Amino acid sequence: MNRVCVIGAGSTKYGRLKEGIVELAVNASRDAIKSAGIEARDVQYAFISNVFGVADRQVHLAPVIMSDLGLMNVPGLTVESACGSGSIAFREAYANVAAGFYDVVLVVGVEKVTHTGTARSTTLFSYCSDFFYEGGSGVSFPGLFASMARAYMNRYGATEEDLAMVAVKNHEHGLLNPKAHIRKRITVGDVLESPPVASPLKLLDCCPFSDGASAVILASEEYAKSHGLEYVQVIGSGRGASPATLQDREDITAIPSTRAAAQQAFKQAGIEPKDVDFAEVHDCFTIAEIVDVEDLGFFPKGKGAEAVKQGVTRLGGDLPINPSGGLKSKGHPIGATGVGQVAEVYEQLLGRAGERQVKGAEIALTHNFGATGASCAVHIFRRV
């Protein structure tokens, strides 16, 4: 296998945006190409990560995006794995470069949903569940994660206040990110007093619906070196799967796909969880970050909430989690999210993350999943 690296990254702001799906994707891709210091025509293939193109009246995104980049003859492919599409598209790009099919590949993730409103967006997202048992029986994604939260709180004694601490932390981080969707300091009281969405989760336990796009450029390390490009190495890549429904999980308080993907990525990288300097994890809801940091091996099962309470996962703590603000504050344009995590890692490991810089970071991990973790990818990166 060829060694693979990330040579460029770009992101639009996340939020309620006026641009359409194609313009967002093209803008992020242009910025990624420029940051890589390559010519657009050096891109040989593209993976597009998107779920709800149909909501903005555009599917078959690859030729449209590539044509607007002036790359009419460069093929691409759309990858859909619900909220995990971005990391899973990245994984496919990684595999293609590692296998030697291409030297330079663009991964661009994009989503445009906020114009559809809350009820429609809630419905669209519910199509990412096993619809017969879940979305089609009335449950939303907040409801699915709320069901995990109730089981977790019952088993491990975590409280609604504990969950709220995750939101408070990630909003503190997001305040330092100029591209974050919700840049607002909040308190535990604000979270507890916010309106119920799906009990025990309240509005401020939930990430927002966001529009946005992120793009990264992968290359073989040989290509990057021979062209004198700056880069960060991809040292581990893992994929996992879980039963599509919550009812089929042996343990509703854990996500098997995270564990599988993390084990593969750590094994390939030849490192352990304690070697990671910071991580971007899938905090679509406050409970998710608590479960994630346990399943990734950072904290023992049942202790994820304790880590947040003690400040271990804050910027400046021993293991900053979601220095970008995470899905909770930075926002969650679902096709873009997993790619945006890689863009954050690229900026951080090159020391370009401004006020939210994790000082001295050398090794970083990204974790992103689809639905309630039915599909997951984990990647590990190293500063050169």
Partner 1 sequence: MSVSREEFIAKLNEGKVLLYRCRRCSNLQLATIVFCRRCNSDALDVVEEKGEGRVVTFTILYVPPEGYEGYAPYGWAVVRLDSGVNISGFIDVKSAKDLPLDSRVRIVGYDGRGIVLKAEDGSSK
Q: Which residues are catalytic?
A: 83, 332
Q: Could you say which of 198, 254, 290, 334 contacts partner 1 (CB under 8 A)?
A: 198
Q: Does 139 bind partner 1 (CB under 8 A)?
A: yes
Between 137 and 310, CB nearer to partner 1: 137
Task: Return the closest-CA partner of residue 63 out of 78, 53, 49.
Answer: 78
Between 148 and 265, CB nearer to partner 1: 148
The Cα 262–Cα 282 span in angstroms is 13
User: How many residues touch partner 1 (CB under 8 A)?
Assistant: 36
Amino acid at 194: S
Q: Could you say which of 184, 248, 310, 311 contacts partner 1 (CB under 8 A)?
A: 248
Q: Does 147 bind partner 1 (CB under 8 A)?
A: yes
Q: Check if the beta carbon of residue 354 is closer than 8 Å to that of residue 176.
A: yes
DSSP secondary structure letter of residue 230: -
Between 92 and 134, CB nearer to partner 1: 134
Segment 200 to 239, residues that bind partner 1, using CB under 8 A: 200-201
Sort residue 54 into left (φ over 0), alpha (ψ -120 to 50) or beta. Answer: alpha
Segment 45 to 64, residues that bind partner 1, using CB under 8 A: none
Q: Does 156 bind partner 1 (CB under 8 A)?
A: no
Radius of gyration over every alpha carbon of the chain, rounded to an integer in angstroms: 19
> DSSP 3-state assignment of 157?
coil
Q: Could you say which of 16, 30, 115, 150 contacts partner 1 (CB under 8 A)?
A: 150
DSSP secondary structure letter of residue 278: E
Is residue 26 within a helix (H) or strand (E), and if so which, with residue range? helix 21-36
Report, in Å, the least distance between residue 199 CB and partner 1. 4
Report, in Å, the least distance between residue 344 CB and partner 1. 29
The Cα 186–Cα 75 span in angstroms is 45
Amino acid at 237: S
SS3 of 344-383: the string is HHHHHHCCCCHHHCCCCCCEEEEEEEECCCCEEEEEEEEE
Q: Does 159 bind partner 1 (CB under 8 A)?
A: no
Q: Does 118 bind partner 1 (CB under 8 A)?
A: yes
Q: Which stretch binds partner 1 (CB under 8 A): 4-12, 118-126, 322-330, 336-344?
A: 118-126
Q: Could you say which of 3, 55, 133, 241 contacts partner 1 (CB under 8 A)?
A: 133
- Which residues contact partner 1 by CB under 8 A? 118-120, 122-123, 126, 132-140, 142-144, 146-148, 150-151, 154, 195-201, 245-248, 252
